[in-house]
Amino acid sequence: MSGIWNDFNSAQSNSNVIPKGTLAKVRLTIRPGGFDDPSQGWTGGFAKRAATGAVYLDAEYTVVDGPYARRKIWSLIGLYSPKGPDWANMGRSLIRGILNSARGISDKDNSPEAQARRRINGFGDLDGLEFVARIDIGQDTNGDDKNEVRGAVTPDHRDYAALMGTVALPIGTSAPQSYAPQQITPAARPSQPASAPGNAGRPSWAQ
């Protein structure tokens, strides 16, 4: 006996993760951790400090539109690790990409205006930003797959225009050739960042 209701090898996997490499417009919410260090520019209670001494932003990304609309991804943005500078460097690189993506700045643009738009007054300026994320897959503390955001798509990418428009396009779909980067105004932010269930995984630098 054979058939789709007898042989389930061809059935779709029940994995709940968004496929690795998916590009989608997301909204960033920083879940407050209450840790400040004004000497580092960490103010407003946005940073979190782990028992190990690692400091990070607890980020929640909500997919704005497309086939995964309203799906949420929880990931950490490294600020400091007692094990070395790698995690903080990765965090700064991600934030640079987020600002480039949200504010329509080419990563290659080093003009005074572009440099000014890559500066923030504090982490509160990041809360509520919408940008194009490249979705990745990591593992939680149980070894199960979970989505993460480790990179942002900037106007240099051919799909950026369409993705920042109304829908998230399949990978490889070209954006309109006539697109010019739009002037994006910061999204309205609540006075207190939204809270959500805790993140299941934590990078090795934070352990």
Identify whether 90 is part of a domain. Answer: yes
Residue 143: give the domain boundaries: 23-28+59-75+85-169
Identify whether 43 is part of a domain. Answer: no
Identify whether 108 is part of a domain. Answer: yes
Q: What is residue 200's predicted lDDT score, i.e. its pLDDT?
A: 41
Identify whether 39 is part of a domain. Answer: no
Percent of the chain with pLDDT over 90: 68
Q: How many helices (H) and strands (E) in the chain?
A: 3, 7
Q: What is residue 14's predicted lDDT score, i.e. its pLDDT?
A: 65
CB 107 within 8 A of CB 156: yes
Identify whether 136 is part of a domain. Answer: yes
Identify whether 194 is part of a domain. Answer: no
Nearest alpha carbon to residue 203 among 93, 17, 78, 96: 78
What digits encode the pLDDT tens for the residues 78-131? 999 999 999 999 999 999 999 999 999 999 999 999 999 999 999 999 999 999
Instruction: Give the number of domains in the chain.
Output: 1
CB 203 within 8 A of CB 74: no
What digits encode the pLDDT tens for the residues 127-142? 999 999 999 999 988 8
128: left (phi over 0), alpha (psi -120 to 50) or beta: left
Identify whether 137 is part of a domain. Answer: yes
What digits encode the pLDDT tens for the residues 62-80? 999 999 999 999 999 999 9
Model confidence band, residue 206 (pLDDT cutoffs 50, 70, 90): low
d(CA 63, CA 28): 9
The whole-model pTM stands at 0.75
